[in-house]
C-alpha cells in the first residue's frame, strides 16, 4: 500500500511535469538537426522496422476503459490516429503520414512495406513489449494518463516546437527535399493534435486517477515511459 495520501489532480500533474523536467536535463527530447539526407533516411528505416504499434497501445486503452463517455472520446482519438480521411477529413492516418515523410527521403512504398514486415531492433522489441503490456494490464486511466509523456511534451513549449519545425523545413529544403509539406506533415500534425490529446489525458488523470494506489501507478508508468526516450 502506498504510504501517502492522494493528491489533487493538479498537484499530480505538476509532479509529473517535474519528473519530465528533471529527466530532460540528461535526456533531451529534441529533433536531431543538421543531418544529411542519408542520415535521415537511415533513421527513418530504423523507425519503420517492425511496423507501427500505435493501434495496439491506443486500442488497449479503448478496450479496457469502463467509462462509456471516456471510451468514446478514446475512439475519437483512434480516428485521429487512424486517419481523419476515413471519415472525409483531409489528414490520413499517422502511419501514412510517417510513410509520406519517408518517401521524401528516398524510401519507396515497397521499402517501407518490407521494413514493416522485418524484425524490430532488440531495443525496440523490449521497449514496445513493455509499453503495450502496460497499456493492456494497467488500469485504463493510468494507461490513458501515461500518454502525457509523449503527447504532453508538445505542451511544454509550443513556441519552440513551431520554431523547430520551421528550422527543419529550412534544413530539408537545403538538402534537396522536394515536397516539404509531406516531409514535415507528421511533425506539424502532431504539434497540433497532440495538444488536444494531452488535454484529454489530463482530464482523465484529474477525474479518474484519484486514489493513492492509482496515482503511484501513474507516477511509475510516467517515469518508465520517460525512460523510453534515450533508452
Partner 1 sequence: MSELPYGPEDLKASPLEGDAFIRFLKQEKTRKYPEPPAFYRDLAKGKLGKEHIKLWVKDMYAYWDHAMVYNTGAIYIKTNDEEVRTHILKKMVDIEGKEVVNDLTGWTTPAYEELWLRLAEGLGVSREEVFSWKSFTRTHYAITTLCMLSRWWEWSWLDGIASLYAGDLHGKEAFGGVSKGLKDHYQVPDKNLEFFRVFQEDAASHLQWQEKALAHWCCTRERQLTAARAFRKRLDIEDQLLVAVHRAATSERVPLQVP
For Cα atoms 121, 231, 187, give the angle at the middle one, nearest 5 degrees. 80
**Three-state SS at 209:** coil
Residue 147's nearest CA partner among 92, 215, 226 is: 226
| Residue 5 per-residue DSSP state | P
Closer CB to partner 1, 146 or 215, in the complex: 146
Residue 205 C-alpha cell reads as 488523470
State the nearest-atom distance from the C-beta of 197 to partner 1, in Å: 15
State the nearest-atom distance from the C-beta of 89 to partner 1, in Å: 5
Residue 219 C-alpha cell reads as 507516477
State the nearest-atom distance from the C-beta of 27 to partner 1, in Å: 30
State the nearest-atom distance from the C-beta of 91 to partner 1, in Å: 10
Closer CB to partner 1, 13 or 134, in the complex: 134
Closer CB to partner 1, 49 or 75, in the complex: 75
Does residue 162 contact residue 195 with C-beta atoms inside 8 Å?
no
Which residues make up the interface to partner 1 (CB under 8 A)? Answer: 51-52, 55-56, 59-60, 62-63, 71-72, 75-76, 78-79, 82-84, 86-89, 93, 95-96
Helix (H) or strand (E) holding 123: helix 122-137
Closer CB to partner 1, 89 or 129, in the complex: 89
Amino acid at each position: 500500500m502506498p504510504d501517502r495520501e492522494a493528491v489533487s489532480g493538479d498537484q499530480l500533474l505538476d509532479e509529473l511535469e517535474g519528473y519530465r523536467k528533471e529527466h530532460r536535463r540528461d535526456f533531451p527530447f529534441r529533433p536531431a538537426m543538421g543531418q544529411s539526407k542519408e542520415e535521415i533516411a537511415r533513421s527513418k528505416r530504423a523507425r519503420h522496422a517492425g511496423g507501427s504499434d500505435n493501434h495496439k497501445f491506443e486500442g488497449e486503452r479503448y478496450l479496457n476503459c469502463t467509462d462509456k463517455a471516456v471510451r468514446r472520446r478514446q475512439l475519437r482519438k483512434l480516428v485521429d490516429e487512424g486517419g481523419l480521411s476515413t471519415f472525409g477529413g483531409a489528414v490520413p492516418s499517422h502511419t501514412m503520414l510517417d510513410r509520406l515523410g519517408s518517401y521524401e527521403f528516398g524510401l519507396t512504398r515497397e521499402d517501407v512495406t518490407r521494413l514493416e514486415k522485418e524484425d524490430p531492433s532488440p531495443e525496440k522489441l523490449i521497449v514496445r513489449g513493455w509499453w503495450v503490456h502496460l497499456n493492456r494490464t494497467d488500469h485504463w486511466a493510468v494507461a490513458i494518463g501515461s500518454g502525457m509523456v509523449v503527447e504532453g511534451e508538445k505542451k511544454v513549449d509550443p513556441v519552440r516546437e513551431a520554431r523547430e519545425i520551421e528550422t527543419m523545413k529550412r534544413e530539408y529544403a537545403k538538402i534537396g527535399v522536394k515536397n516539404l509539406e509531406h516531409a514535415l506533415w507528421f511533425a506539424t500534425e502532431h504539434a497540433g493534435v497532440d495538444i488536444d490529446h494531452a488535454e484529454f489525458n489530463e482530464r482523465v488523470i484529474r477525474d479518474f486517477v484519484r486514489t493513492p494506489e492509482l496515482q503511484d501507478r501513474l507516477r511509475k508508468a510516467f517515469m518508465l515511459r520517460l525512460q523510453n526516450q534515450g533508452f
